[in-house]
Amino acid sequence: MNNTITPSPRRGRRALLAILASTTLIAAACGGDDDDAADTTAVPATAAPAPAPAEDPRADWPSTLTFAAVPAENAQDIGSYVTPQIIADELGVEMEFVQAADYAGVIEGMIAERVDLGSFGGFSYVIATGAGADIDVVGLWSSETPDGYGDYRSYLIVPVGSDIATPADLAGKRVCFVDPGSTSGFLFPSAALLAEGLDPTENSTDIEAIFAGGHDASAIAVNNGDCDAGFAYDTMVTEQLIESGDIPGVIDGTGEGETVNEAEATLEIIWKSTPIAAPPLAAGNWLPESMIDEIREIVTTKVNVDWAVDNGYCDSVDDCPLSDGPFWGYLAGEDSYFDGIRELCELTGSSKCEA
């Protein structure tokens, strides 16, 4: 953005003519036939000081930013995500990518100020801020339209024909979670188990807790018989794994009508959580304030599938990987949006709520 104001040529010429005309009138008024008029010595005018150069608002911006994401559940390289590409291009900076081995990797990277932009779940954001990460929300997922946040849910799945019908039936079973820092893959499932008097932690004697490392891995483990039940976020079960061919279909045993390919289905949904706060994109407050403001503007106005298609980043809105998981784009949000997750941490007393 150029903050220098440049006068137009026409305006400058009029000003010069006005000055010349004024000078002529003054000379005419002061002149005459009096040869005895006192002789005066002309004093050269002092030149006006040159205007200070306009300050570049980007002068203190770093030339490279670091973008990190939680494990890509669909095994896609985060370097192919459209979100960091758009941000880098619009800012005019380089973008380095960190594909973390687990949720803790992104959290620790932001606490240590090694990661400038982090894409993760609400629970991971709460863990990071609770552990002292100086970060803030620059955007919140909107699932399919620009009309509302991308709230989502955790699903409990079992093999078709299983005798497990509710979370209470998980006692003594092998239960797949995603990661200790996963909102839909651990925090909300933990609350469901605690409500039934079951300890969900890895040292539990009530269940055999298994952390699969990804939402896809959790569901596939159940499908392969490695876990008796497992948790994963909603569209991973009803869309992504079916589209990828990892599972042939799923039955919605809750009666909400999300059954897909019933005749071939190998998994059944038996429980759904309450809506979960949309995942955030967070930026480190150690970046210049003007840069954070610009990132927030870019994220909430340009990082969406419609803009990405119109500007050549994607071929279609149906094939536009902004990040992991299908969603429309980002809307504005703030830290207080995640107070519900903080309250759930207090209610469960989960040690996982701390980094």
pTM value is 0.75
- Say what the pLDDT of residue 139 is: 96
Please give the structure tokens belonging to residue 33. Answer: 């036939």
Do domains 64-150+277-353 and 154-272 share one topology? The answer is yes
Surface-to-core class of residue 166, CB atoms within 10 Å of its CB (0-12 exposed, 13-18 middle, 19+ buried): exposed
Return the half-sphere exposure (C-beta side, CA atoms, 13 A cut-off) of residue 44. 3
Helix (H) or strand (E) holding 64: strand 64-69
- Say what the pLDDT of residue 46 is: 59
Helix (H) or strand (E) holding 344: helix 339-348
Domain spanning 64-150+277-353: CATH superfamily: Periplasmic binding protein-like II (3.40.190.10)
Please give the structure tokens belonging to residue 308. Answer: 């990405």
Architecture of domain 154-272: 3-Layer(aba) Sandwich (3.40)
Report DSSP state, residue 195.
H
- Say what the pLDDT of residue 26 is: 36
- Say what the pLDDT of residue 31 is: 44
Residue 171 to residue 346: CA distance in whole angstroms:
24
Residue stretches of the chain with pLDDT short of 70: 1-54, 70-76, 144-150, 355
Please give the structure tokens belonging to residue 75. Answer: 């095994």
Q: How many CB atoms lie within 10 A of CB 196?
A: 14
- Say what the pLDDT of residue 45 is: 56
The three-state secondary structure class of 19 is helix
- Say what the pLDDT of residue 145 is: 62
CA distances in angstroms from 6 to 3, 157, 172, listed in the order given = 10, 65, 76
Surface-to-core class of residue 40, CB atoms within 10 Å of its CB (0-12 exposed, 13-18 middle, 19+ buried): exposed
- Domain spans of the chain? 64-150+277-353, 154-272
